[in-house]
């Protein structure tokens, strides 16, 4: 019998689109989308506001069309497809995104009862986009009249090698992308004095200049100011309005730090207008233009698409999920755990390579972390050349859940491949659409292991009604903590913060002999929208970011020592003399071209651990054009998948032309590949719902595929008209995020 050590928290997080799946199905119910019905859908103020926040340009085209209808047939068709993509997103995808979809917290009970309230009962949280705020703070710091009122402290990436200080300097491309350069400055007595004065507490330029003159009376006041401003211009000293990622709203920090009357008046008005937006769930778009007009007084360039950041919290009349689901999930988790053990990636990770190089170079020594990771004097990490690094902004553009290279359980050709190759071959032979798995399909020799999984897990699921049967689809778990998926929503939501704190408290108890320290770093301005969060832990490691914590609770990079003990990397704080476990309580894809120190701290979260559980056929999946749905009793481990090329679809054959019958081509394709009516066109974590019995939906699919030769379809599982989440007589798709914690570890600590 399995020694399953995990227990679920009493609460779960429900995620759902703001529009019903019923409304989308109704719009697509005929062979073509009726223009009048599309106009009616797009005249909804909620849709218009959501569209404006996602794409102001498309919103303008829509409004112009609704008012005048003066578009050529080609432009009208293009507009129609663009609108259908957003409507599909707003009616079928549960991943929170602007006003398109939101989240709430529910409770486990004896029965399932999930009913949404009217949208007027929802809540929303709006703030200025981090891209704009970072640009604003940069401009404020450049302004000499404002600069003299700010406080300054050493760059948090600063560390000393010999008689030289090294640090990361940030420059910006025209598209506001950050470029990181490693820079160096020779140490002298003046620099040492300034660092000593400003390290424990930020100081004004006047204070530093006067101190410098007292330190060396031969320095003139003009020379002192010139020298200090040079340090600021070169980012050796950074201001108190540099980006803050943890603890407080960034606009609030800027407002609290600016004393210039005109700018402060404008900032306060901006803050008030943004707060007014959240008093109503649905607002006229003109309010946003009014806010833009006010912000223009601050003379910082505004891109409307990257000016507002909004999150939606839905509200339910009844929000209960039956506990029986946990029993089904337990069976699925146990199976996935065994599957993960025999398919475990044995390739050398970056951490493994680092350990090998560290032991060759330093043996049993404990040395400064910054020195070890320095690309010239140390052994570096991941990047061999740190002269210039441009962070990847892909996470924001595509809103993906992180899937770093060494976090994937890619399956080499082994027992797992043999099992599923046989299962898929048998399904082909028997013409089966579903592969049924059983616990005894896995080898008996597998030793069940749980200790190398994270202490807490957030399991992403969907509860679907499919062909009259309620089933649970497991999407998987990932990351170092169950809290990672929720961090970005917590700055404005006390209820969700309490849920996350209950997770963090468990992790603190399990790791009571070490310090859990939040990693505070801004890789890219816009990424700040999804990594800003409350302070979940007592200590913080700031790196190219400001901290609002007292200095006693900040662990600087130059305070961290590193060693390897029993083949395990150990970080120790010199001032606290305690071991540190870094924590990144957000869902940032940190593997995407990050700075070495940042990626190292993030990678260290999962040292010696599997990143989570999920079903994957790995590279083997590409060998099959069709993979049947894979089920374990009542649990769907993998939906049916089609790995196709354009030549596999009648729609893309040479026979197609302007008058080509798309519906007939779709029928041929469906019969050939056993496709259902509803499928998902999938790329990374993006999914677009396609109705293969609607001509406009098929055109949308063709447009989305574009020039791609290869693409992936998945079956859409919410097939039944009635689903578990309802709103009056309409039904919604769902994602249910269930948090598990290792109760065995917790009990051992409590009883120890």
Structure tokens given for 422: 């046989």
Per-residue tokens: 57: 């340009």
Does some domain include residue 209?
Answer: yes
Residue 45: what pLDDT?
Answer: 98
Number of domains, the chain: 2
- Helices 596-603 and 350-362, packing angle to 10 deg: 110
Q: Tokens 């891109």 appear where? A: 303
pLDDT band at 612 (very low <50, low <70, confident <90, very high): confident
**Based on the domain organization, do 232 and 160 belong to the same domain?**
yes
**Which single residue is written with the structure tokens 């209820």?**
495
Domain match, 232 and 282 both: no
Do 159 and 232 share a domain, yes or no?
A: yes
Q: Domain boundary at 239, 266, 283, which?
A: 239
- Ranges 103-107, 175-179, 293-297: which has the least confidence: 175-179
Residue 288 and residue 218 share a domain:
no
Final residue of a domain: which of 313, 333, 366?
313
Rounded Cα distance between 355 and 336, Å, is 29
Tokens of 643: 């790995």
Closest residue by Cα to residue 300 from 504, 178, 168, 143: 143
For residues 125 and 279, what is the distance between their CA atoms, to the nearest angstrom? Answer: 9
The whole domain housing 221 covers 151-239
Is residue 157 within 8 Å of 374, Cβ to Cβ? no
CB 147 within 8 A of CB 242: no
Residues 219 and 268 in one domain: no
Chain-centroid distance of CA 174 in Å reads: 25
Same domain, 158 and 235: yes
Does the residue 86 lie in any domain?
no
Q: pLDDT (tens digit, 9 = 90+) per residue, 33-52?
A: 999 999 999 999 999 999 99
* Nearest residue to 701 (alpha-carbon basis) of 711, 93, 26, 734: 711
Please name which of 377, 376, 370 lies closest in space to residue 558, comparing C-alpha atoms: 370
508 within a domain of the structure (yes/no): no
The CA distance from 584 to 604, in Å, is 10
If asked whether residues 173 and 202 sit together in one domain, one would say yes
List pLDDT tens digits, range 86-126: 999 999 999 999 999 999 999 999 999 999 999 999 999 99
- The mean pLDDT of 591-615, rounded to a whole number, is 91
Residues 234, 251: one domain? no
Q: Are residues 231 and 259 in the same domain?
A: no
C-alpha angle 243-246-252 in degrees, rounded to nearest 5: 60
What DSSP element (H or E) covers 599?
helix 596-603
Dig out the tokens for 146 from the structure.
Answer: 């404002």
Name the residue with tokens 């769902």. Answer: 734
Helix segments in 399-493, DSSP class H: 415-430
| Rounded distance between C-alpha atoms, residue 353 and residue 70, angstroms | 62
DSSP string, 126-181: EEE-HHHHHHHHHHHHH-HHHHTTSEEEE-TT-EEETTEEEEEEEEE-TT--EEEE
Residue 608 lies in a domain: no
Residue 73 has pLDDT above 90, yes or no: no
DSSP per-residue letters across 245-288: -BSS-HHHHHHHH---HHHHHHHHHHHHHHHHHTTSSS--THHH
- Domain assignment present for residue 495? The answer is no
Contact 51, 62 (CB under 8 A): yes
Q: Which of 527-536, 564-573, 612-621, 635-644 has the lowest mean pLDDT?
A: 612-621
Separation CA 82–CA 699 (nearest Å): 11
Tell how far CA 427 is from the center of its chain: 36
Hey, what are 290's tokens? Answer: 């009014």
Last residue of a domain, one of 211, 239, 267: 239
Q: What is the pLDDT of residues 501-523, one digit of tens each?
A: 999 999 999 999 999 999 999 99
- Asked if residue 233 has pLDDT above 60, the reply is yes
Overall average pLDDT of the 66-90 stretch: 93
Q: pTM to 2 decimals?
A: 0.92
Are residue 156 and residue 232 in the same domain, yes or no?
yes
Q: Report if residue 291 sits inside a domain.
A: yes
CA distance linking residue 496 with residue 492, whole number of Å: 9
95: nearest Cα among 397, 401, 306:
401
In a domain, 590, yes or no: no
Distance CA 599, CA 611 (A): 15
pLDDT, tens digit, for every residue of 134-172?
A: 999 999 999 999 999 999 999 999 999 999 999 999 998
Is residue 260, in this structure, part of any structural domain at all? yes
Q: Verify that 226 and 261 share a domain, yes or no.
A: no
Residue 255 and residue 215 share a domain: no
Please enumerate in sequence order all residues whose Cβ is within 8 A of that of 356, keeping only pairs 6 or more positions apart, or say none.
none
Fill in the DSSP letter of residue 539: E
């Amino acid at each position: 019998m399995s020694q399953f050590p995990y227990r679920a928290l009493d609460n779960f997080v429900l995620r759902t689109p703001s529009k019903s799946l019923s409304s989308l199905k109704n719009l697509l119910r005929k062979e073509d989308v009726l223009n009048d019905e599309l106009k009616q859908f797009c005249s909804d103020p909620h849709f218009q506001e959501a569209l404006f926040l996602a794409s102001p340009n498309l919103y303008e085209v829509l409004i112009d069309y609704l008012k005048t209808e003066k578009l050529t047939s080609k432009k009208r068709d293009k507009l129609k497809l663009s609108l259908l993509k957003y409507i599909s997103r707003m009616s079928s995808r549960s991943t929170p995104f602007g006003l398109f979809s939101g989240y709430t917290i529910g409770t486990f009970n004896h029965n399932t009862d999930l009913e949404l309230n009217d949208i007027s009962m929802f809540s929303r949280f709006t703030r200025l986009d981090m891209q704009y705020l970072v640009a604003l703070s940069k401009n404020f710091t450049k302004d000499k009249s404002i600069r003299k009122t700010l406080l300054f402290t050493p760059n948090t990436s600063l560390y000393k090698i010999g008689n030289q200080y090294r640090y990361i300097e940030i420059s910006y491309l025209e598209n506001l992308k950050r470029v990181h350069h490693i820079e160096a400055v020779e140490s002298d007595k003046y620099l040492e004095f300034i660092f000593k004065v400003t390290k424990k507490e930020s100081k004004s330029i006047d204070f530093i200049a006067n101190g410098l003159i007292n330190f060396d009376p031969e320095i003139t006041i003009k020379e002192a100011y010139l020298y200090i401003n040079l340090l600021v211009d070169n980012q050796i000293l950074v201001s108190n309005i540099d980006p803050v990622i943890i603890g407080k709203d960034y606009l609030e920090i800027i407002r609290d730090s600016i004393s210039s009357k005109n700018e402060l008046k404008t900032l306060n008005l901006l803050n008030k207008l943004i707060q007014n937006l959240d008093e109503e769930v649905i607002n006229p778009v003109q309010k946003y233009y009014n806010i833009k007009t006010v912000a223009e007084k601050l003379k910082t360039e505004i891109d409307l698409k990257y000016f507002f950041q909004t999150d939606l919290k839905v509200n339910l009349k009844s929000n209960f999920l039956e506990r029986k689901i946990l029993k089904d999930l337990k069976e699925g988790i146990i199976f996935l755990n065994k599957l993960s053990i025999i398919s475990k990636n044995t390739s050398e990770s970056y951490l493994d390579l680092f350990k090998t190089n560290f032991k060759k170079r330093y043996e049993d020594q404990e040395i400064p972390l910054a020195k070890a990771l320095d690309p010239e004097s140390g052994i570096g990490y991941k990047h061999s050349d740190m002269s210039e690094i441009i962070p990847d902004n892909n996470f924001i553009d595509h809103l993906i859940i992180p899937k770093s290279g060494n976090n994937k359980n890619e399956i080499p050709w082994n027992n797992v491949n043999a099992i599923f190759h046989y299962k898929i071959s048998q399904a082909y032979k028997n013409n089966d659409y579903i592969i049924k798995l059983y616990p005894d399909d896995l080898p008996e020799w597998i030793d069940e292991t749980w200790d190398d999984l994270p202490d807490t897990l957030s399991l992403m699921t969907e509860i679907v009604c499919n062909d009259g049967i309620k089933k649970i689809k497991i999407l998987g778990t990932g990351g170092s903590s169950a809290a990672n998926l929720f961090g970005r929503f917590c700055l404005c939501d006390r209820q969700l913060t309490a849920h996350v704190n209950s997770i963090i408290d468990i992790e603190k108890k399990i790791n009571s002999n070490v310090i859990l320290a939040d990693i505070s770093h801004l890789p890219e301005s816009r990424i700040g929208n999804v990594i800003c969060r409350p302070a979940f832990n007592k200590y913080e490691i700031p790196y190219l970011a400001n901290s609002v914590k007292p200095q006693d609770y900040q662990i600087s990079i130059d305070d961290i020592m590193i060693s390897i003990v029993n083949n395990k990397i150990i970080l120790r704080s010199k001032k606290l003399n305690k071991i540190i476990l870094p924590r990144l309580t957000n869902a940032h894809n940190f593997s995407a071209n990050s700075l070495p120190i940042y990626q190292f701290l993030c990678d260290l979260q999962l040292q010696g651990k599997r990143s989570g559980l999920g079903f994957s056929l790995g590279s083997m999946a590409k060998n099959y054009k069709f993979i049947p749905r894979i089920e374990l009793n009542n649990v769907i481990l993998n939906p049916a998948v089609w790995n196709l090329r354009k030549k596999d679809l009648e729609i893309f054959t040479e026979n197609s032309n302007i008058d080509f019958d798309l519906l007939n081509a779709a029928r041929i394709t469906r019969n050939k590949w056993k496709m259902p009516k509803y499928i998902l066109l999938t790329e990374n974590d993006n999914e677009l719902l396609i109705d293969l019995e609607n001509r406009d939906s098929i055109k949308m699919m063709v447009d989305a595929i574009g020039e791609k030769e290869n693409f992936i379809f998945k079956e859409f599982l919410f097939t039944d008209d009635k689903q578990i989440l309802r709103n009056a007589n309409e039904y919604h798709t769902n994602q249910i995020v269930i948090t598990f914690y290792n109760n065995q570890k917790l009990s051992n600590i409590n009883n120890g």
